[in-house]
Every structure is written in structure tokens, then in C-alpha cells.
Amino acid sequence: MENVFITGASSGIGAALAQVYAARGATLALVARRQAQLEQLRRSLPNPQRHHIYALDVTDHAALTQAAADFLQQVGTVHTVIANAGISVGTLTECEGDLPVFERVLQTNLIATAATFAPFIPAMKTCAREQPCRLVGIASVAGIRGLPGAEAYSASKAAVISYCESLRVELRSSGIRVVTIAPGYIDTPMTQVNTYPMPFLMPVSDFARKAVQTIDAGRSYRVIPWQMGVVAKILRLLPDWLYDRVFSRAPHKARTPGHDQ
């Protein structure tokens, strides 16, 4: 029996991942702030009585740790942990009122990723000797190079990529695989508020299916969809002067309350 812990599960990528795992018989822990949406999602899944919901904010580390402990007690072994909770919102450093938003984005997108993984690592070090165990960080193509008007989001996702790489190397000998997935534009509530063109926009169900394939394979890093992976490689190679010239006129994410993924 496969047991999976997913944060940011109430909508978007998290809910789509839950649907893929539940369809193949996994037992899920669904974590998000919105109790009603979690209940609705659980009722829509196969074997709803099997799944556990935890309505909490992932920046509340004590509540997150308690949820992890409860799920471990209920199921014994957790095979996959997906740190998916995130906030996407435009920010400008020059705007003093955006500093609290910076803190919220970094706490949710980065620090909560580590807080999600931490309670499971000791038990995973034991179970990984006999069966695959995965820690999965959901990053973003926005973390590959900084986007104008998205200082906090780009910084947080760049940090998730580097953090997961560090953790992957650290845990290599334990048998625990650390997987980093960088979505491009995925059709979710987080992107539906964007007013600018989104190249290679992918349905969230297609993304979830490809993401689970990546997790199952234990791949260290993947950009989905693959077309954005090509774009990401090109972006890495662009010299700063050319990148700055091309992206200085790029559209900005709206400076409004962020959307959870």
C-alpha cells in the first residue's frame, strides 16, 4: 500500500496529484488551509474513507509536524512526501508595503518545504532500505532566472531548487530520493489570474500524470512541460546583458493577494 503526504492539496497541482495517486490506490494525507475544499476533494476521490485531511497553514510548523506525526501513526510508513504549497504574487522591492509579502512568500514557498520534509526523514531512512521513498519539491521555471516584478516568487523558487539539490546529495547514501519538479505554465487558479500570454500552457491533469511518472522514476530534476525545459536551458545560457535586455519589458504578475497552489 502506497502512502503519500501532499501539501497545497485543496486545488490546482496538489489536487490533481491527489487524484492521480488515489486512482491507483494510494492512501493520502491532504494538507491545505481550506477545510471545506479539502473535504470536497476527499469526497471526490476513490475510497474517500481511506484519506486523511489536515486543515492548516504550512507556515505553522508545529501544526505541520503534528499532522506528519498523526499520518505516520495512522499508516506506519510514508513513501512519498510532496511539498507543493506555494504562493504566487507580484512584488516590488521599492514598495515598502511589499516587505511583509516577501516574508510570507519565502516562508510558504521555501521554509515550509523544509518543514514538510523534516518530520519524515528519520522514518524514511529506515523504510528506504526496502522500498522507494521520495521527497518531492515543487519549484518553478521562475526559479531558473529572476523575473521582473516577481522578486519574491523567483527568489523563493530558486532557493527551492538549490535546497532540494543540497538535500538530494546529503541523503544520497540513505536511499531516499529527492525529486525537484519545476512546472512551467500550468492551468490552475494560480495562473488563471494572469493577463499575459503563457506559452506551452498545460492542463493540470496532464502535468500531474507526468509529475507522478517523474517521481516514480526517482529523477532528480525535471521541467514540465518539456518545451519549457528547452526554454529553461536556453535561459541558463543567455549572457546577463542579453537576458536583461529581453526580459526588462516582460509582463509583471499583479501585486494582489497571492494564489495558493
CA distances from 41 to 9, 130, 150, 245 (A): 9, 32, 30, 44
Q: Give the residues of the chain that fall short of pLDDT 50.
A: 257-261
Can you give the pLDDT at residue 258? 46
H or E element that contains 161: helix 151-170
H or E element that contains 32: strand 27-32
Dump strand ranges (E) for 92-238.
133-138, 176-183, 186-187, 202-203, 221-224
Q: What is the pTM of this model?
A: 0.92
What amino acid positions are annotated as catalytic residues?
153
